[in-house]
Amino acid sequence: MDITKIRSLIAEMTLEEKAGLCSGADFWHTKAVERLGVPATMVSDGPHGLRKQDDGADHLGVNDSIEAVCFPAGCATAASFDKALVNRMGRAIGESCQHEKLSVVLGPAVNIKRSPLCGRNFEYLSEDPYLAGEMAAAYIQGVQSQNVGTSIKHFAANSQEHRRMSSSSEADERTLREIYFPAFETAVKKAQPWTVMCSYNRINGVYASENRWLLTDVLRDEWGFEGYVMSDWGATADRAVGVHAGLDLEMPSSGGINDRKIVAAVRAGTLAESDVDLACERILNIVYRYTENAKPDTPWDMEAQHELSAQIAAECMVLLKNEGGILPLSKADSVAFIGEFAEKPRFQGGGSSHIHCFKTTSAVQAAEGLNVTYARGYDTAADRADDAMIAEAVAAAKAAKVAVVFAGLPDSYESEGYDRRHMRMPECQVKLIEAVADANPNTVVVLHNGSPVEMPWIGRVKAVLEAYLGGQAVGLATVRVLFGDADPSGRLAETFPLRLQDNPSYLYYVGEGDATEYREGVFVGYRYYDKKEMDVLFPFGYGLSYTAFEYSNLRLSAASVKDTDALTATVTVKNTGGRPGKTAVQLYVRAGEGEVIRPVRELKGFEKIELQPGEAKDVTFTLDKRSFAYWNAALHDWHVESGDYAVEIGQSSRDIEVSAPVHVESTVAVPMHYDANSILLDVMKSPAGAAAMKPIIDALTATFGGGEGSAAEEAISTEMTLAMMNYMPLRGIISFGGDQLPPDFLDRLLEQLNG
């Protein structure tokens, strides 16, 4: 329906009907206006499958949802570094939504992984905003290609579960703009999600649901968002304030309570009816976009999607260690699968994204027909491994050529609603791994977890495969990777620190009371570890392969550019190993010396490519102003410092293979205003300031510099005088100038400096 007809429809509504349209009919449906033929539509939890609940169902999954397909969670799919793969997954979920008459799937979740402790990290994508934004855009484009909407969430700065409905994320503008906003910004500008879900938390004291700067000034006016904003379930505070701020749809229904508050505010003159009309317009635009393109006869082939889920999971797995090339395993060898996760894999997290799977495939099931034995090893429910279990596991390990321990984090360790308290794995699993490693030197560990874990046992095992939470077919994917039917091509989308205390947010995470200070600023994840030159367990972007890749011949389109120019970078990548394989080519920009404190390097491009043995391909990236910019709080805009930068390409943030320099010239000067307290060092940085100050500095140097002595001593004395003068405020010139300066000297100087 075109916008003119929608506006005409709204004009026929009563104020009560318009206010009612701004909240859900129940937990999952928008309201209908039967008098005018306005239909209701249904939304569903996601983002890695459908959690459709129909009758009186809750948000967190006490009641069962329909059977569906569980794809790998965000922690896994981000590790694929493969936009095409995530797009393909999105299309499959979009088809499922059409089949089930769902207008919007609630995802993707793109909040930044500030700390390994966040309870929902398993469904979030990355610690890096560029990677999160690009992957989110690809997913959104996939889902919405099927004429089904997405709801990117949770906007914004929602990086903990502790006090999530009351806590205020206290962060400066640069931190928000460089770290916590870009994933949303990229998704909006590249993919236009139909809806955006605002978060529970406050941002610098203002609830996201009432934050006009966030929901209107930034999201709509700056980024050009065209859809509607919905609340997270129960995130609404003052409903009338929220409508004015740009919160269009309250979910779930308030039973009419908040609808009546909207009506009362309009009649009291504290809320403009035009704000209500605009919210209705945005909601109906999406309602009709779906209903006019609904295809409930779309087939949903769950078996085909199960196979797709397995393919995606295999692409997401990260090979962390492979000593002596123990992997891939030979199908002729005897192998012991040890650990309950081999038979009952943990493949998804808890809370609103929990899928009721129509089937699962475990590693034990997938290994049927191979020379594989199984020992339980530990009891997940009881979180224990008794002597009998360990003895059985040790016996199985001794009898096999290779022992594969399936371990990780149980459901209770990470879920929506609460944060983890540590990075440790269950002690019973650590003891099991150590016992098996003592029994068989050829021990491999497969991890099922949604966040980094400490690995005190890593020096005692030959290989580690990070499977993350790989969806319902993770067992099938794991066996394919272990036995070489698929190449592990995942790369870490987050740093694995050696210990929790190394994390930059460690001292401040969860905060004090209802305030959480983001004191680490822009130094999140690898930006911090690399700047500190700190040892980590595994760096951002890291991952091994069953083959090897060589990077060479990096060439830039220019040696010097203006910040308004596009710069292309092309690198040649070659498979130098003996097997086909995929790699994630990662491009980082390294800032040179400048006035602004910046990370060592930042991801600004990535591309997943597949190469046959001996094959080489050129990969080209295009860089723009944002690739070199930081957020300048004085300008309230992105700014590039003039200077020398480096374009770096490699296999992780710590493994840079090739690098090329480029000079970037800024086309925008940061405006400077000087006062009596401005120091000479800052004034002298601008050409105008240097010209104005030169005669004064020469006079002061002649008066206080030099002296009797050798030429070398006089030069040193003059240099020392200049160094001290650097930090002198302009008002200090009067003290040293004495009677030689006119009374209005400082006023005239400031007038000259400030133009």
Listed in order, strand segments (DSSP E) in 208-301 are 228-231
Is the CA virtual torsion 600, 606, 612, 618 positive or negative? Answer: negative
49's tokens: 């499958």
pTM: 0.94
Helix or strand holding residue 681 (H, E): helix 680-683
184 touches 224 (CB < 8 A) = no
> Model confidence over 543-569: pLDDT tens digits?
999 999 999 999 999 999 999 999 999
Q: Name the residue among 104, 406, 417 with its Cα closest to residue 251.
A: 104
What is each CA distance from 554 to 495, 561, 568, 570, in whole angstroms? Answer: 26, 17, 10, 6
- Give the N- to C-terminal CA distance of the chain in Å, as an integer: 55
Q: Are strands 567-575 and 549-556 parallel, antiparallel or unpaired?
A: antiparallel
pLDDT at 62: 47
Q: What is the pLDDT of residues 70-107, one digit of tens each?
A: 999 999 999 999 999 999 999 999 999 999 999 999 99
Amino acid at 154: H
Instruction: Evaluate whether 726 touches 679 at the Cβ level (below 8 Å).
Output: yes
Distance of CA 173 to the CA centre of its chain: 18
Compute the distance between CA of residue 58 and CA of residue 63 in angstroms, rounded to an integer.
7
Copy the structure tokens of residue 141. Answer: 């484009």
Task: Give, in degrees to the nearest 5, the angle at Cα 304 between 411 and 547.
Answer: 75
**Number of other residues whose CB lies within 10 A of the CB of residue 192:** 18
Give domain 1-40+205-292's CATH superfamily. Glycoside hydrolase, family 3, N-terminal domain (3.20.20.300)
Catalogue the active-site residues. Answer: 232
Residue 29 is classified by DSSP as: B
Whole-angstrom distance, CA of residue 93 vs CA of residue 631: 36
Q: Extract the tokens encoding 93.
A: 């979920």
Measure the CA–CA gap between 54 and 669, rounded to whole angstroms: 57
Q: What is the pLDDT of residue 693?
A: 77
The residue ranges of every structural domain in the chain are 1-40+205-292, 303-531, 549-665, 680-753
> Would the CATH topology of 1-40+205-292 be identical to that of 549-665?
no
Enter the tokens of residue 632: 């300048």
What is the structure's pLDDT at 173?
Answer: 97
* Most distant CA pair in the chain, distance: 99
Coil, helix or strand for 417? coil
Contact 631, 173 (CB under 8 A): yes
> What are the residues facing 570 on neighbouring strands?
555, 620
For 341, the enclosing helix (H) or strand (E) is none
Residue spans of the chain under pLDDT 70: 54-63, 700-721, 736-740
DSSP letter at 36 equals G
Give kind and range of the element (H or E) at residue 73: none
Architecture of domain 303-531: 3-Layer(aba) Sandwich (3.40)
Q: What is the pLDDT of residue 458?
A: 97
DSSP string, 655-674: EEEEEEEEEEE-SSPPP---
pLDDT single digits (tens) 246-276? 999 999 999 999 999 999 999 999 999 999 9
pLDDT at 740: 66
Q: What pLDDT sits at residue 705?
A: 55
Task: Tell the CATH superfamily of the 549-665 domain.
Answer: Immunoglobulins (2.60.40.10)
The pairing of beta strand 318-322 with beta strand 228-231:
unpaired
Residue 46: per-residue pLDDT: 85
